[in-house]
Structure 1
Amino acid sequence: MINFRLCGLLLTLLPGSLSAQQLFNSTRSNYSGLAGATWNPANIVDNRYFFQLQLVSFDAHATNTAYRYTGPWSPQNSSAQLDLTKEFLTRRESDKPKLFSAGLNVRGPGLMVRISPTQSVAFSTRVRTAVQGNAVSESFIQNAVDKFKSKGRSADNSFNMNLNAFSEYDLTYGRVIIDKSLHFLKAGVTAKRYIGFGSGYLRSDNADYQIIDKTAATGDTIVRINNLNAAFGYSNPDAFDNVDADQVLKWLTGGGPGGGWGADLGVVYEYRPNMGQYRYIDKKGVDRLDYSRNKYLYRVAVSVTDIGYIRYKENATAFNNIKTTKSGVSEADLEGIDIDNYEARLNKILRTDKQVRENEFVAGVPTALNVDVDYHVYKWIYANASVSQNLRGNYAVGMRNFSYASVTPRIESKWLEVATPLSMINGYQTFAYGLMLRLGPLVVGSNDLGAYFDSSSPYGFNGYAELSFALANGGYKKKRGTQRLKDSSSKKEDAAPKK
C-alpha cells in the first residue's frame, strides 16, 4: 500500500522539486566545451576552444506524460501557487504507462585545456538531484491524483519511483585517433567518482488493490490490498528537505552515505572533403592548420554516458522482497503523509517488521546511449539530429535518462549562436520546441518553451543557463588554397612550406 501513497507523495513533492534534474541541451554546438563533454567526452579535443573555465551551469525541469497543467503557475509567474490538484490537471487519454520527473542539474566549477594539437584534458564537478516515476500504470496515477477516493478494484498496477541526489568529480581525456585529410576520428573517456547524498525507491509490477467505502464497523474508508509484490529502500531521506544553492555547494565539498564509480566513453567521426582551405601561412611563413574553424561537411558522434553505480551502506534500509496479500490500510494511516513522516508511515503500512531487511543497496546512474549527426549546411548554418536512448530497465533502482530524439537547426559563430531544437521527449511520447541563445560566455535556453506561454497547457517545463570564461582558437591569416592535402600524419604541422 505504501506504493499507492508514495506515488501521491511524490506527486505532491513536485512543486518543491522544481526549484531543485537533469536536462539536455540538444544544440550539439562546436562551442559547447565542457557542456558538450557530458554528451560525448570526445568533444573536448579539437573543438573551438583551447581553454575554458566553466564558472557555473544549471538546468532545471519538470515533466510528465499523464496530465497537462492549466493552473496559474508558470516560469514567468513563479510567485503563484503551483497547485497540482485535479482541478488544474487535464488527463492525457492513453493506456501507455506514465512517467514523471523533476529536478536540478548543476555543473561547475570546471576546467578544460588543450595540451597539444591532438590532446585535451578536463576536470569538472557536477550535482544532480531528481524525483522520478517510471512505468506508472494509467489507473494508478489517476487514482493518486484523485487521492485514492475512487471506489472499486484496480488490478495489474505497475510503478517505479525514485528519489536521488548525488555529486560527481569528472576527469576527461580526449585525443585525435585518425587525421587523414578526408577522414578524421577522435575519442574521449571520462572517469567519474560519485558521492551519493540520498536515495529512495519504491517499485511493483503487479499491485492489486481495492478502495472500499466506510462501514459502520470501521468508520473509515480503507484500501484493501489483494496482492502486492514490491521493493522499498532508502538512505538519508532528509537530503531532499531543502534543495537549494547552499545545499548544492555543501554537496560539492562534503561526503555522503553513498559512493561509487562510473565512466563515459565516446567517439566522433568527421568527413572533411576540402581540407586545403583550412591551412594558412602565418607571419613567419610557417604552414599551419586553422583551429578556429569547423572543417567537416558532416559529423557523426556516438557515446555511452554514466556507466556506473552508487552503493549506499550508511543509514541504508532496503526491503527487496515485500509480499502482501489480503491486508487493509485505513484512511487515517494515509492522511497527512509527507516527506517528514513517510518513513515511519510506510514501514507501518507495509508491515516491514515482518519482512527481510537489508542494510545496503545499489542505485544506478542514468546510463544512456547518445548518437548525433551534424551537417554543415552553409557558412554559419548547421543542422543536427540526435537521439538519446535510456539503457536502464523499467524497474531499475536509481536515476534515469528519459529517451528523446531531436532535430535542431542552428546558426553558429564565435560570439553568437541561435538554435531551435524540435524534440520528441519523455520516451519519444511528447513533442517539445525550444530556443537556445549564446552570447559570448553566456548561454541561456529551454528545450520545452510551452510553459512560458499563458495560452499553453504544458506537460512540463525546463530551462538552462551557463556562464564560463573561454579562449577560442585564433583565426587564419592567409588561405593556402582549396587543393586536398596529403595524409597529415606524413607532414609535420609546423614544418615550413616547400618553395
Structure 2
Amino acid sequence: MAQQLFSGSHSNYAGLTGVTWNPAHVADSRYVLQLQLFGADAHATNTAYRYTGAWSPQNTGADLDLGKEFLTRRESDRPKLLSAGLNVRGPGLMVRLSPKRGVAFSTRVRSAMQGNEVSENLIRTAVDKFKMRGRSTDNTFNLNMNLFAEWNATYGQVVVDNDQHFLKAGLTVKRLIGFGSAYLQSSRADYEIVERTAATGDSTFRLNSLEASFGYSNAQAFDNLTLERTVDLLTARGAPGAGWGADIGVVYENRPNAGQYRYIDKKGVERIDHSRNKYRYRLSASVTDLGSILYDKEATAFNNIRATNASVSEADLEGIDFDNFDARFDRILRTQTHTRTTEFRAGLPTALNLDLDYCLRPHLYANVSVSQGLRGRYAIGMRSFSFAALTPRFESNWLEVAAPISLINGYQTLAYGLMLRLGAITIGSNDLSPVFSSSNPYGVNGYFQVALSLANRGARLKKHGPARLPNATR
C-alpha cells in the first residue's frame, strides 16, 4: 500500500518512518540520531472478495488456496481494487544538526502488483476462470506491476518559533532506480464468453471491442521475488529505468505553554528542553512521491490499441507466467498491427497526507490522519490507495503502543490494528482481522523495524536555574 501504512501512529518518536510521511519531521526531532538497520512491511488486499480458507497468520502451514470456493464476493457494483506488495527499508540515518535543523539519508526498495478500476463483471469472470457464459460490456481495468529502489536525502528546518506558534518545513529528494514495470489497462472492453463448438474450436471468449494500453520493461524481475533478493537490489547495476522524485511538507505546532519548557543551565544560559513535546495540537501537511521513472531500456509500449471481433483461445490463456506473458499478450492483443514505442514513464504513488495530533495528557495522544492518492484512475505506475485513520497512542522514548482504526482501500474497508515499539524493535499491523478465526478478511498486512536511536538529553539531567513562567517571552 506504498509507504503510508507502515505505521499509522505518526508518533514523535517515529524517526525515519515519520520522515516518509512528512519530511518536515526531520527538524526538531526527539532524537539526536537514529540508525535504521532494517525494516519491512508486506500486504495483500482487495475490495472484491473475503477469504474464508484455512490459511491464516496463525496457520501458515495450510495451503493458501484462492479458489472460488474459498472466496465470498462483496455485494457492490463499484469498481474493485487489489494490491499485493513488499516494502523494504534501510539502512538509513537521521541526524539532528542543531536545535532548528535536521538531515536524513535513507534507502528503500518497493514492489507491488496492483489493480485499479477493475469492473465487477470482469473480476467475477476471472475468479470463475472465464467459465461464465454471456456478454459483458463497458468493462474497465488498470493493472500495474512495479519494482524500484530509492536513495533519499532529506533536509528540514524550523521556520517560525515565537513560543506559542511553531512551524517547520522539510524536503526529500529521491534518486530512483527502476528494475521492472508492466501495465495493462482499458477504459472500455466489451467481451463475450462463448461455448466451444465446431465453428469456434477452442475459443474461450471473444473481444467484441477493446481500447487498451500495454507496456513492460524487464517483467522477469518479478519472478520469484523474495525478501533477500529485494535487499540485494539496493546495490544492483544495469537497471532498465531511472528517475527523480521528491516529498515536501510542513508541520505547525500550537504551544500555549512554551515557557515551561525553558530552563537556565549551570552556565546561566537559557535553553529549551528538546527532549519533550511542547504542543497542545500539531497539524501536518505533505505531498509525497512526486516524480516518475523513465524506462528506456528493454522497454516496449503500445498506448493506442484498438481491437474488434478478436477471438481468444484457451491455449492463449493457459500457462501465462513472467517468462512468456509478453509474447502471449502480443498474440492476444494483436500488437503487431499497432504502433510500438521503446520507452514509457511509470509514476510514483503521489499522495496528499494530512494529520492532526492532539495531546490529551503527557504521553497520551490522539491522531486523525488522511492520505488521499493523487494518481489518476488510468495512470501508469504504482499508486497509493486512499485511507483515513483515528489512532490513540501512548508514547515515550522506549515504549509506544498505538491502536489505529482505519478506513482503507479508498475509504471502503474498515480495519483495526495494533503497533508496539519497545526500544529498537517495532512490530505491528494495520489490519488484525486475519488474526481472528471468526473473521473473513479482505487481506493481510504486517510490518517490523529495527532501529537504534539516541534521544535528546532531558533538562532534568542538568543543573537547573529558576524556572520560567508559562507566559514568559524569549
- Say whether the fold is shared (TM-score over 0.5): yes
Aligned equivalent of 1:323: 306
* Residue 292 of structure 1: how far off its partner (Å): 0.4
Using the TM superposition, name which of 69-78 and 110-119 deviates more: 69-78
Query: Per-residue deviation at 1:434?
Result: 0.3
CA distance in 2, matches of 1:86, 1:232: 28
Deviation at 1:141, TM superposition (A): 0.5
Structure 1 residue 79 displacement after superposition: 2.4
Unmatched 5+ stretches in structure 2: none
Separation of aligned partners in 1, 2:472 and 2:61: 60
Distance, in Å, in 2 between the alignment partners of 1:78 and 1:260 is 38
| Alignment correspondent of 1:386 | 369
Cα shift at 1:75: 1.8
Aligned residues: 468
Matched, 1:143 2:107: no
**Residues 350-401 of structure 1: CA deviation (Å, up to 9, x unaligned):** 1111111110000000000000000000111100000000000000000000
1:84-95 equivalences under 5 Å are 84-95=66-77
> Paired residue for 2:64, among 44, 57, 82?
82
Q: Is contact 2:203–2:311 with CA below 8 Å preserved after alignment?
A: no
Shift of 1:125: 0.4
Q: Would you say 1:412 and 2:399 are equivalent positions?
A: no
1:480 to 458, 467, 471: 467
For the 8 Å contact 1:103–1:131, the answer to whether it is kept is: yes
CA–CA separation in structure 2 for the residues paired with 1:273 and 1:153 = 65
Does the Cα contact within 8 Å between 1:132 and 1:161 map onto a contact in 2? yes
* Unmatched 5+ stretches in structure 1: 1-17, 489-499
2:245 corresponds in structure 1 to 262
- Does residue 107 of structure 1 match 2:94? no
Larger mean CA deviation between 275-284 and 57-66 belongs to 275-284
Contact 1:59 1:104 in 2 (8 A): yes
Tell me, in whole angstroms, the C-alpha distance in 1 between the residues paired with 2:290 and 2:312.
40
Q: Per-residue displacement from partner, 1:427-477 (whole Å, max 9, x unpaired)?
A: 000000000101011110000000112221000011011111110001123
Contact map agreement 1:434 1:449 (CA 8 A) in 2 = yes
The letter of the residue matching 1:485 is A
**Aligned twin of 1:448:** 431
Tell me which of 271, 291, 294 is aligned to 1:311.
294
Q: Separation in 2 of the partners of 1:331 and 1:347? A: 15
Instruction: Give distance in 2, aligned partners of 1:455 and 1:137.
Output: 29
Partner of 2:226: 244
Partner of 2:140: 158
Quick one: distance in 1 between partners of 2:172 and 2:310? Answer: 49
Q: Tell whether 2:254 aligns with 1:271.
A: yes
State percent identity of aligned pairs. Answer: 63
Structure 1 Cα separation of the partners of residues 51 and 309 of structure 2: 36
Aligned partner of residue 63 in structure 1, secondary structure:
strand
Q: Which residue of 215, 227, 243 maps to 1:233?
A: 215
Partners in 2 of 1:267 and 1:249 — Cα distance?
Answer: 31
Q: Shift of residue 336 of structure 1?
A: 1.9
CA contact (8 A) 2:215 2:299 kept: yes
**1: CA distance between counterparts of 2:146 and 2:135?**
32
Counterpart residue number, 1:174: 156
Aligned equivalents of 2:54, 2:472: Cα separation in 1: 61
**CA distance, structure 1, for counterparts of residue 470 and residue 419 of structure 2:** 36
The ranges of structure 1 where at least 4 consecutive aligned residues each deviate by more than 3 angstroms after the TM superposition are 21-24
Between the aligned partners of 2:57 and 2:379, the Cα distance in structure 1 is 32
2:118 and 2:141 in contact (8 A); partners too: yes
Instruction: Answer with 95-104 or 447-456: which moved more.
Output: 447-456
C-alpha distance after superposition, 1:13-32 (max 9, x if no partner): xxxxx9xx554311000000
Corresponding letter in the other structure for 2:49 = Y
Deviation, structure 1 residue 96: 0.5
Q: Does 1:202 align with 2:184?
A: yes
CA-CA distance at 1:250 after TM superposition: 2.2
The 8 Å contact of residues 365 and 400 in structure 1, kept in 2 or not, is answered as: yes
What is the one-letter code of the residue matched to 1:27? S
SS in 1 for 2:130: coil
Which amino acid counterpart does residue 34 of structure 1 have in structure 2? L
Amino acid paired to 1:380: H
- Across the aligned residues of Structure 1 and Structure 2, the Cα RMSD in angstroms comes to 1.2
Q: Deviations over 1:385-419 (max 9, x none)?
A: 00000000000000000000000000111111100
In the TM superposition, residue 62 of structure 1 has moved relative to its aligned partner by 0.5
Q: Distance in 1 between matches of 2:217 and 2:405?
A: 38
CA distance in 1, matches of 2:334, 2:282: 56
- Deviation string, structure 1 residues 187-222 (Cα, Å, up to 9, x no partner): 000011000000000000110000100112334243
1:294 maps to 277
> 1:74 and 1:354 mapped to 2: Cα distance?
46
Query: What does residue 123 of structure 1 align with?
Result: 105
Deviation at 1:248, TM superposition (A): 1.6
